[in-house]
Structure 1
């Protein structure tokens, strides 16, 4: 039996356990936490003293036998690959290391604010500069050749090992190869994001450019993807969308997209975050099953403001005009403050996505459609969102105006010509 205590901001909120060989974990709130009347999972797992939650209807491929609130803390594709390498290095069997064990490996290093004890001890992270080149090498080997990676993880002549940097990759969510880092904007110095911040350092996330087969759905990202995502960040800011500060980190002819973490405050404190997938128990792999109407409904269930609803509508229009068809249920987030009030997170993962089997159409529907949208569809959604009359036209015009400048911006950023042409051919600029 693997058991973990779950903590939020230093307070025990509950306990999660999973027997070896079992597929589904059990979760129970701590009675003392229930008395606080703060709901971290109000829709699928409301506070209830003595009740043991187990969700056998959730597909293991998405939730790994865990409740949504807890499953959000697990690493995704890239992080799990790195954990598998660590298991091999330490002589552990993957089949005997269940989801609760992976939570304990994550410990206090996960995205968001949940922490899990007891922590499985790993090699101590050293406070030293990180070389992006080494992180890229690790990521490429993780996706391509585990045997090569295992060899590379042996100590080098200076007594160091790439195990030192495993921790910065296993914590971040998503399929794409990335790392959580501490970044000094003045010196561009990069250190581990898992340690207390040094003066002038900030919590950032870096997505690696030039790593084969690290994209969502197991596909290769095109060359220049970091520049492309940065160009979409600029478009989002032009549309008035709330996003964290972002920039490009260039080295060895590669351009990596960087963004400040919204789950950390200025002092490094943790913010409690849940995805749309987690809070509603919606399956990330179910393409086209869920809708933007459901997203707005969830926001109302969480008593969010009308201004938050309108901000979300603006992001939806951005996804439609900009052809971001990787708009799945994990790419929308909510955050809860210490009083139990909910809001939307800053926007993230806003980038062009079109072409594969999974992103051939939008993942979330509007007016029962995942493609071939017309103005009436946006008008329907605006009415559903209770926006002022004709607001959809204003938002659409602002978004189209912004994306009308994209091609020139792509030229300025030196995005590869083939990628420029493909993106330009899919933008929805005429309505």
Structure 2
């Protein structure tokens, strides 16, 4: 079913209008900036270069953007000459979440996945040089992905997975580390998708996570789930350190109308602080829309790693602080969101103890 129509406004920013049938049978794909009503919405120039956040979420960044630009150059096209509508067409049906873009301008040369160690070697080659013999393979497997780390989107036993590979800045055992942290997150009560450590002859293994924006399996219908990041909803760039957990709590309550979702976010905040994941930017929190119930919910956790951040500061502030965060600061954010103070303290102390016992405790300074 057609959601709506995109074009470039005279201001050279994106313009969007919902399709007539979607207005009757659909839902708002981004409630704060694109409410479900007729008329044309025109994006602001900043901070997303003339894009609406929900469509910016579909655009590959980091690794996926690198692959796209390399593929364009391989075809003799200057990446700087390619505008947002063309880039969305390149995403086509392969983006994260449920949105698809037509007409599609595929650059996929119909290649097939190969051995994970071979893919890791091609990723390393591409990061070190401007060329890789496996560029077509890498683009087909990961050209629509976001995030800085090399990765592929693939199918395993009828289910869709994301498998990550080390970047040039990562330790060789980064996959093993992220897997251990994902299991620790589950022990701390954080909602997580299934994760695995895939075997390797080159390193301790490659971290993989089952996609939560896809449901269904070998014997069940495959369905895409609409997903929007916090940055997409707030129309802000994840490259700006302008987020705080208090704002995320208010966004979660407004969108989900659920104290349970706020408590899930509270657990995630505590875990990020104690694990030392300071890369808690606006694209590392997302929301999923349940069409059957007509409800939004906070997504499972993802991209949970030890990350020192910029100047050892959290990208998302906690009670106004980027460092030196105390249990009192965590509790203040939680109680303002409607969670009982005693419960906030209990959750924070429990997560701190579990993280410390696992040997991951970060400096709070």
- TM-score band (shorter)? over 0.9
Query: Counterparts in 2 of 1:35-54, with a 5 A limit?
Result: 35-36=24-25, 38-54=27-43
- Listed one character per residue, the Cα deviations across residues 14-55 of structure 1 (whole Å, up to 9, x for unaligned) are 1112379x7522222212212235111110111231223222
Alignment equivalent of 2:164, drawn from 207, 210, 226: 207
Pick from 314, 317, 320 the counterpart of residue 368 of structure 1: 320
Determine if the alignment matches structure 1 residue 16 to structure 2 residue 6.
yes
Once residues 130 and 278 of structure 1 are traced to their aligned partners in structure 2, the CA distance between those partners, rounded to angstroms, is 34
2:274 paired residue number: 321
Report Cα offsets for 1:223-280 as digits up to 9, x if no partner: 3211111121121111111101111112123221111110110233211111000011
Tell me whether 1:132 sits opposite 2:116 in the alignment: yes
User: Partner residue of 1:102?
Assistant: 87
Shift of 1:306: 1.2
Structure 1 residues not aligned, in runs of 5+: 1-10, 154-161, 184-199, 213-219, 408-422
CA distance in 1, matches of 2:5, 2:270: 40
The aligned runs of 1:255-266 (5 Å cut-off) are 255-266=205-216
* Unaligned runs of at least 5 residues, structure 2: none
Cα displacement string for residues 366-386 of structure 1 (whole angstroms, at most 9, x for unaligned residues) = 221111112321221121111
Do residues 228 (structure 1) and 201 (structure 2) align? no
**Pair 1:74–1:327, CA change in 2 (3 A):** same
2:109·2:136 contact (CA, 8 Å) conserved in 1?
no
Render the CA deviation track for 1:49-68: whole Å, top value 9, x for unaligned: 12232222x22xxx342100
Between structure 1 and structure 2, the one with the greater Rg is 1
- Equivalent residues of 1:76, 1:174 under 8 A apart: yes
Deviation at 1:129, TM superposition (A): 4.5
RMSD: 2.1
Q: How many residues align?
A: 359
Question: Is 1:82 aligned with 2:67?
Answer: yes
Per mean C-alpha deviation after superposition, the further-off stretch among 23-32 and 72-81 is 23-32
Partners of 2:78 and 2:331 lie apart in 1 by 54
Q: What is the match of residue 14 of structure 2?
A: 25
State yes or no: 1:352 paired with 2:311: no
Which position in structure 2 is the counterpart of 1:144? 128
For the residues of structure 1 that align with 2:57 and 2:88, how far apart are their CA atoms? 10
Counterpart-to-counterpart distance in 1, 2:282 and 2:113: 35
**Helix, strand or coil at the partner of 1:115:** coil
Partner residue of 1:300 out of 253, 270, 279: 253
Given the alignment of the two structures, is residue 399 of structure 1 paired with residue 348 of structure 2, yes or no?
no
Give TM-score, length-normalised by structure 1.
0.79
Question: 1:390 is paired with a residue of what secondary structure?
Answer: helix
Check 1:37–1:84 CA distance in 2 against 1; reply closer, same or farther (3 A cut). Answer: closer
**Residues in 2 aligned to 1:45 and 1:396: alpha-carbon distance in whole angstroms:** 36
1:158-190 deviation per Cα after TM superposition (whole angstroms, max 9, x unaligned): xxxx5144221112211111110112xxxxxxx
Q: 1:23 to 1:222 in 2, by over 3 A?
A: farther
Q: Say whether the 8 Å CA contact 2:97–2:213 is kept in structure 1.
A: yes
Alpha carbons 1:207, 1:256 under 8 Å: kept: yes
Q: 1:129 to 1:85 in 2, by over 3 A?
A: closer
For residues 311 and 188 of structure 2, the distance between their equivalents in structure 1, rounded to whole angstroms, comes to: 23
Change (3 A) 1:394 1:109: same
Q: CA deviation at 1:94?
A: 1.5
* Contact kept? 2:289, 2:295, Cα under 8 Å: yes
Post-superposition Cα deviations, 1:306-363, rounded to whole Å, max 9, x if no partner, equal: 1111111111111111111111111001001225310011111111111x5x261111
Q: Is the 8 A contact 2:182 2:195 kept in 1?
A: yes
Structure 1 residue matching 2:126: 3-state secondary structure: helix
Q: Is the 1:17–1:100 Cα contact (8 Å) retained in structure 2? A: yes
